Amino acid sequence: LKAGDEGGGLLLFPDWAYKPAWSPGSRQVQLWHFLLELLGRGEGGAIDWGREWGEFVIRDPERLARLWGERKGKPHMNYDKLSRALRYYYNKSILHKTKGKRFTYKFNFSKLILVNYPGYPSFLILVQKEGDGSSIIIG
């Protein structure tokens, strides 16, 4: 499991969430996987984790679109096109827009696991740091 420190808690995601977005034999890169790859390697200029578990914030929409366009081999990619792809994931319940927060979205990791990794346990682990320094496992 990989970890990142967000909002006072330690977030742990399964290794599948951080595998390269492109691998031999894969037919196409999935945007959600590309976003997780950027988040996993700390691409702070374009995208960062938000305060809530699974939440991410697009810091530089045009830069993110440019990176996505480079990965897809589409030099004319812009944020309008990228955001259309993000909205496509709403219907699939893979992610949703966080109301009242600009450029902020939240992954539905349970849905991602069930759809893409049917044999994987249907839970994720969240370790919450308590005020006294102890940790509790939620989930």
Q: Which domains does the chain have, with CATH numbers?
A: 23-121 (1.10.10.10)
pLDDT in tens, 18-66: 555 555 545 578 899 899 889 988 876 899 999 988 899 999 999 999 9
pLDDT in tens, 104-115: 999 987 766 544
Q: How buried is 96 (Cβ within 10 angstroms: 0-12 exposed, 13-18 middle, 19+ buried)?
A: middle
Which of 24-28, 34-38, 77-81, 91-95 is the most confident on average?
77-81
pTM (two decimals): 0.65
Q: Minimal CA–CA distance to 45: which of 16, 66, 19?
A: 66
Cα within 13 Å of Cα(3), Cβ side: 10
6, 20 Cβ separation under 8 angstroms: no
In whole angstroms, what is the distance from residue 23 CA to residue 42 CA?
Answer: 20
Residue 55 contacts residue 68 (beta carbons within 8 Å): no
CA distances from 72 to 19, 27, 75, 81, 137 (A): 17, 11, 8, 12, 38
Residue pair 133/12 in contact by the 8 Å Cβ criterion: no
Judge whether residue 4 has pLDDT over 60: no
